[in-house]
């Protein structure tokens, strides 16, 4: 599901031996010190996602499983879209303050106020739309809407604390928080399944309890790193960088998660299809866990090359990363396409609602999505946030248009994912080519030196 620490260690050993190294080995060995701990935590929380969904699939009826699937999808779309950019921006700011020897408590207070504002707006929206949300997505259950609101708040807290830890370079506690979060999800989901729990609310509340406990487990290193006051970044600077990043991330999450919500809207009574699509998505997204563990290295390398005006190095690293990502997508997509219908039945107790064609579209969409993420990071390093945003906006429109085409619901939503992600790749590749890659040295000024890259490992 994700590259293990043993794999990283083997790559490092091969590098020390002096032999020729593959692109993947070179990327693994260039990770910042301590990132292996984050990889380990990513493995645990990635495994937790699958075990949690497997336990729910085998314990709940198809109707309740569909409700839980939609809650999971909304959380991973809206929650990650809003609060993961906060973690990224906080990581960048804290890292910059650390380099200058400045404290971070004042800027953390501003980020906390901003996060509380986002939670308040989100909570108000959930409360005002509670009844329509319950009737449309959760079979009239208001308690599932409440669980969704609580899980949003828990995600906000974890992302703020992880931003502090990553910015301070405390990857040990960062990885520990991921591991505690994932370990609790595994333990609680397994206990509920073995104990015969049949309530979707119980499985949904795991998404609140586990993250909050993981925050408490790592509270000491977070609080220990924010003792000094330091300067407070201006609100205009915070919002100016965070705004486009939040919108881009939200649109990217819409592209990658739209299939489940779309199927619920297009086929509201087909709970088996909704649950099966979520199972197919998480199966097809296995390569994303490996990609997430490589992002820190990619950002660091691209930032260094751009800051030095090294166009050749920038282009070489970008091309090499795209090749590695393509390899990951193919290695994950072929078995998912061939075995997917059987695997989701065995692992998640899903009904026979999807064929190999749907899994092919899902796997292709995941490959294109990873490539779009790589190109988007390159645009962000070059301070071309609006072009990154434009790429995801185009992708979202393509997803919407393809979803509204006639045909079987399952085929439409899976094909929409693939076409949307592909359009993001093409749009961002064109933006990079026109604004940076095709410009020869001497024809234009070198790219502006970027701000410090975020030192995080993305979880899917």
Examine the pLDDT at 28 and tell me if it is beyond 60: no
Cα(459)–Cα(97) distance, integer angstroms: 25
Q: Any idea which of 64-73, 84-93, 132-141, 420-429 has the lowest mean pLDDT? A: 84-93
Most confident of 237-241, 288-292, 424-428: 424-428
Average pLDDT of span 226-243: 64
The alpha carbons of the chain give a radius of gyration, in whole angstroms, of 21
Would you place residue 301 in the very low, low, confident or very high pLDDT band (cuts 50, 70, 90)? low
55, 122, 272, 391, 405 from 197: Cα distances, Å: 10, 30, 19, 43, 40
* pLDDT number for residue 424: 97
Examine the pLDDT at 100 and tell me if it is beyond 50: yes
* pLDDT number for residue 208: 97
The residue ranking higher by pLDDT, 304 or 425, is 425
* pLDDT number for residue 294: 65
Phi, psi (5° rounding) for residue 441? -55, 135
What percent of the chain stands above pLDDT 90?
38
Cα(79)–Cα(316) distance, integer angstroms: 34
The residue ranking higher by pLDDT, 52 or 238, is 52
Cα(385)–Cα(438) distance, integer angstroms: 19
* pLDDT number for residue 167: 78
- Mean pLDDT of all residues in the chain? 81
Average pLDDT of span 142-159: 95
Q: Which of 299, 327, 316, 256 is nearest to 77 (CA)?
A: 256
Average pLDDT of span 211-225: 89
The residue ranking higher by pLDDT, 115 or 91, is 115
Cα(22)–Cα(316) distance, integer angstroms: 14
* pLDDT number for residue 375: 93
* pLDDT number for residue 285: 82
* pLDDT number for residue 447: 42
Q: Any idea which of 121-130, 240-249, 273-282, 310-319 has the lowest mean pLDDT? A: 240-249
| pTM assigned to the model | 0.74
* pLDDT number for residue 99: 66
Would you place residue 315 in the very low, low, confident or very high pLDDT band (cuts 50, 70, 90)? confident
Would you place residue 283 in the very low, low, confident or very high pLDDT band (cuts 50, 70, 90)? confident
Element (H, E) at 373: helix 356-381
Angle at 451 between CA 450 and CA 456, to 5 degrees: 115
Q: Which of 335, 49, 203 is nearest to 343 (CA)?
A: 335
* The residue to which tokens 């199966």 are assigned: 283
Examine the pLDDT at 132 and tell me if it is beyond 60: yes
CB-count burial class (<10 Å; 0-12, 13-18, 19+) for 20: exposed
Q: Which of 176, 210, 219, 203 is nearest to 42 (CA)?
A: 176
The residue ranking higher by pLDDT, 382 or 427, is 427
The residue ranking higher by pLDDT, 350 or 329, is 329
Q: Any idea which of 49-58, 97-106, 156-165, 233-242 has the lowest mean pLDDT? A: 233-242
The residue ranking higher by pLDDT, 14 or 160, is 160
Examine the pLDDT at 21 and tell me if it is beyond 60: no
User: In the chain, how many H helices and how many E strands?
Assistant: 18, 0
């Amino acid at each position: 599901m994700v590259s293990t620490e043993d794999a990283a260690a083997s790559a490092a050993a091969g590098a020390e031996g002096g032999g020729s190294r593959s692109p993947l080995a070179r990327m693994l060995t260039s990770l910042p010190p301590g990132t292996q701990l984050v990889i380990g935590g990513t493995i645990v929380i990635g495994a937790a996602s699958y075990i949690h969904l497997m336990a729910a699939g085998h314990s709940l009826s198809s109707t309740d499983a569909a409700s839980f699937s939609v809650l999971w999808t909304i959380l991973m779309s809206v929650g990650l879209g809003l609060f993961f950019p906060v973690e990224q921006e906080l990581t960048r700011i804290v890292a910059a303050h650390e380099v200058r020897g400045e404290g971070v408590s004042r800027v953390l207070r501003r980020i906390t106020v901003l996060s509380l504002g986002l939670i308040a707006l989100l909570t108000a929206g959930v409360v005002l739309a509670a009844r329509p949300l319950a009737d449309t997505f959760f079979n009239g259950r208001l308690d599932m809407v409440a669980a969704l609101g609580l899980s949003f708040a828990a995600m906000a807290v974890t992302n703020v604390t992880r931003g502090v830890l990553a910015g301070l370079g405390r990857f040990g506690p960062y990885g520990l928080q991921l591991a505690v979060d994932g370990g609790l999800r595994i333990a609680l989901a397994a206990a509920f399944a073995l104990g015969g729990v049949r309530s979707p609310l119980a499985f949904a509340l795991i998404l609140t309890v586990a993250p909050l406990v993981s925050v408490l487990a790592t509270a000491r290193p977070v609080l220990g790193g924010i003792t000094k006051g330091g300067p407070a970044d201006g609100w205009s600077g915070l919002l100016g960088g965070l705004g486009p990043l939040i919108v881009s991330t939200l649109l990217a999450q819409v592209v990658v998660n739209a299939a489940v919500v779309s199927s619920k809207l297009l086929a509201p009574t087909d709970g088996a299809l909704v649950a099966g699509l979520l199972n197919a998505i998480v199966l097809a997204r296995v390569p994303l866990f490996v990609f997430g563990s490589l992002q820190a290295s990619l950002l660091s390398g691209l930032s260094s090359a751009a800051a030095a005006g090294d166009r050749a190095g920038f282009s070489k690293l970008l091309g090499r990363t795209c090749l590695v990502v393509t390899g990951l997508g193919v290695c994950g997509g072929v078995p998912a396409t061939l075995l997917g219908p059987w695997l989701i039945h065995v692992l998640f107790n899903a009904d026979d609602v999807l064929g190999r064609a749907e899994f092919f579209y899902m796997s292709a969409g995941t490959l294109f999505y990873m490539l779009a993420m790589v190109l988007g990071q390159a645009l962000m390093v070059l301070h071309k946030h609006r072009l990154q945003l434009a790429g995801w906006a185009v992708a979202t429109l393509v997803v919407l248009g393809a979803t509204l085409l006639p045909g079987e619901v399952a085929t439409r939503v899976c094909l929409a994912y693939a076409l949307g992600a592909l359009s993001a790749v093409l749009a961002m590749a064109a933006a990079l080519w026109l604004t940076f890659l095709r410009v020869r040295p001497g024809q234009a000024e070198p790219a502006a030196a970027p701000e410090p890259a975020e030192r995080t490992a993305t979880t899917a």
